Amino acid sequence: MPENASDKSRQRLIDEYTEIARLAGALAHEIKSPLSTIRLTMEVLTEDLAEPETERERRTLNMAKTVVTQCRRLENILNQFLMFAKAPAVKPTPTDLNTEVRTIVDFYREKAKQKNIEILTFFAPELQPIMLDKDAFGCVLWNLINNAEAAMKDGGELIVRTYPVPEGVALDLIDNGCGMDAETLEKLYDAFYTTKSSGFGLGLPTVRKIIEAHGAILEVQSELRRGTKFTIKFPAPPMLSTEKPDPLAGLKQELEEEENQAQDQNQDQNQPKEE
């Protein structure tokens, strides 16, 4: 089937994005090496000036510590950018969504108690398996949970639920935190856009890329001072037959067809001919 103009245009954009991402990733790698050298050098300098004796040495020590702090921040930004720029190479396997979500949520419960966050779980029974890269999904779920925690600084309630949908299986994470306004929602997946003082704005863009690499859909609803709801809808994999193939099935079918043809020929020969 020949490609139409829209398919060619879409493929061209994908190729251009891939090339830009490759170049950006290579540039980030090139920056990381000298940046690490600068940080290590300044760390040695701070050790040498650990006990300053003059005002000049104290001022130099403070400047060196500032450089170290900013280098570490830049290294964190570069690491997150490399994760974002790299095309997700997910390796999904048939997985029970309830089991994966329950494992991560149970691990988080102790921290949730310390933050005065109550977790309520509602897992639909007997969900059909989905194709999931467990490691990549773990990063997605941790990121969404951390966002919910940040939105509930004074504590709150986090609802985690799974349920079937016509296209497959869905997962909701609902918090009653500070919520987001329309402007924030519009820029939510823009790289380097963040409302957090310590964030880099690459978490949710990376989350969406991983979700889309699974062929899934990420949706968000939010309202200021009421909370936020993230929904992930996973497609159901094609149903696989659980019956073992019969190696003689093809031969049996051929023999039956030959026998039927022979019977038809005999009937034709035994019919009286018209004169």
CATH number belonging to domain 5-85: 1.10.287
Of 237, 224, 243, nearest to 184 (Cα)? 224
Distance between CA atoms of residues 140 and 210, nearest Å: 7
Of 227, 185, 176, 181, nearest to 204 (Cα)? 185
**Domain boundaries of the chain, sorted by first residue:** 5-85, 93-235
Average pLDDT over the chain, rounded to whole? 80
pLDDT at residue 243 greater than cutoff 80: no
> For residue 21, how many C-alpha atoms fall within 13 Å in the half-sphere facing its CB?
16
Q: Which of 144-148, 210-214, 241-245 has the lowest mean pLDDT?
A: 241-245
Q: Determine the average pLDDT of the residues in 173-189.
A: 89
At 77-119, the pLDDT tens digits run 777 666 666 655 678 899 999 999 999 999 999 989 999 999 9
Say which residue, 23 or 158, is predicted with more confidence.
158
At 32-68, the pLDDT tens digits run 778 888 888 888 888 888 888 889 888 999 999 999 8
Highest mean pLDDT among 41-55, 169-183, 197-211, 252-266: 169-183
Kindly indicate whether the domain formed by 93-235 is annotated with CATH number 3.90.180.10. no
Q: pLDDT value at position 171?
A: 97
Q: Which of 54-68, 87-101, 213-227, 257-271 has the lowest mean pLDDT?
A: 257-271
Task: Please give the full DSSP string across 174-206, using - where no structure is assigned.
Answer: EE-SS---HHHHHTTTSTT--S-TT--S-HHHH
Q: pLDDT value at position 1?
A: 44
Q: Determine the average pLDDT of the residues in 171-193.
A: 86
